[in-house]
Amino acid sequence: MRAALHEWDEERLVRLVAKGDRVAFEELYRRTSPWMAVRLRRRCADDQIVAEVMQETYLAVWRAAGAFAGSSVGGTAVGWLWTIAARRLVDAFRRRAHHAEPPLAVAPQPVAPAAEEEALAATVGGDVGDALRRLAPELRQVLQAMVLDGLSVRETAVLLGLPEGTVKTRARRATIAMRRALV
């Protein structure tokens, strides 16, 4: 039975994890943790937060695997894992903002482009890249999450801490703005 473990899909592994199978959990972690770390690092440059979110995510998977509904409701194990991780990342950002102390002296700092902005510039060039960079930041975030990262409306909403309706509205506004810019 264990020899076939590497051939099973993630949904079956989650079902085994729900029964307390540590070997299935280890296999699920081995398969999913590399891409999970990459996706989290796209959203957060702080390795400590990424490590904490990874730990919290897999702890939640171990504890809540029995709640996974799976393909019976149109979901996937990988999507379920990412939803948990995205929620944990949002929680980590909220905790950090809550515990942050205001700066003692506010001095004007030179504005350097964020890592995501630099990656975006390297990925999307020409007229499309220019139009994308001219979008309002809140529209660009939604478009980047949905188009470049391939997230669903729900995943984007969780990741950005927005209602799904707001994500849909911003995606529509971004699409219209991009069309106008590219005509």
Give the pLDDT confidence of 73-118 residue by residue, as tens digits.
667 888 889 889 988 988 888 787 766 555 444 444 444 444 444 4
pTM of the model: 0.55
Q: What is the pLDDT of residues 54-68, one digit of tens each?
A: 999 999 999 999 888
Q: Mean pLDDT lowest for which of 46-50, 97-101, 118-122, 168-172?
A: 118-122
Distance, CA of 47 to CA of 53 (rounded, Å) = 10
Q: What is the pLDDT of residues 120-143, one digit of tens each?
A: 444 445 666 777 778 888 888 888
Question: What amino acid occupies position 107?
Answer: A
pLDDT for residue 100 = 56
Looking at residue 144, what DSSP letter applies? I
